[in-house]
Amino acid sequence: MANTNEQLILITDVAVGKFQEMLFDADKKDSYLKISIALEGTEMHYAIDIKDELEEGDKVYNFGDLKVLVNEEDELLLKGLEIDYVQDEFGSEFTLHNPNMIEMYDEEDGGCCGGGCCCR
């Protein structure tokens, strides 16, 4: 396990607060929030889970009292990920945006399928 202050991802203060509230409500306030990549066929999705223990290759990123895990296998695809929590008249949700994924798009050699990643 590596504990690092260098931030791989950005989580807004509003999102950190909401994640902490969710962990508290689930009686998991001392647990970790794990962000990873989940592959379903040719589509890539972000996965966010609550974990009580670290697994081999996990790195801990601290956002105040919120402890976030990222496995080193997922670091390249998560680098630059921005997580926010927005609320408007239609409801509320976490939003995930990774501006670095756009850089992977190449019109000649490949394209994006809409699943959050670009293939070659």
Percent of the chain with pLDDT over 90: 63
- Give residue 106's pLDDT band: very low, low, confident or very high (50, 70, 90): very low
The CA distance from 61 to 34, in Å, is 10
Nearest to 33 by CA among 59, 2, 7: 59
3-state secondary structure of 12: coil
- Structurally, what CATH architecture does the domain formed by 10-97 represent? Sandwich (2.60)
Segments making up each domain of the chain, as ranges: 10-97
pLDDT attached to residue 1: 46
State pTM to two decimals: 0.76
What string of DSSP letters covers 56-77?
TTEEEEEETTEEEEEETTTHHH
| Mean per-residue pLDDT, 45-64 | 94
The answer to whether residue 65 scores a pLDDT higher than 90 is: yes
**Which pLDDT tens digit goes with each residue over 4-44?**
556 799 999 999 999 999 999 999 999 999 999 987 877 88
The CA distance from 88 to 104, in Å, is 32
3-state secondary structure of 104: coil
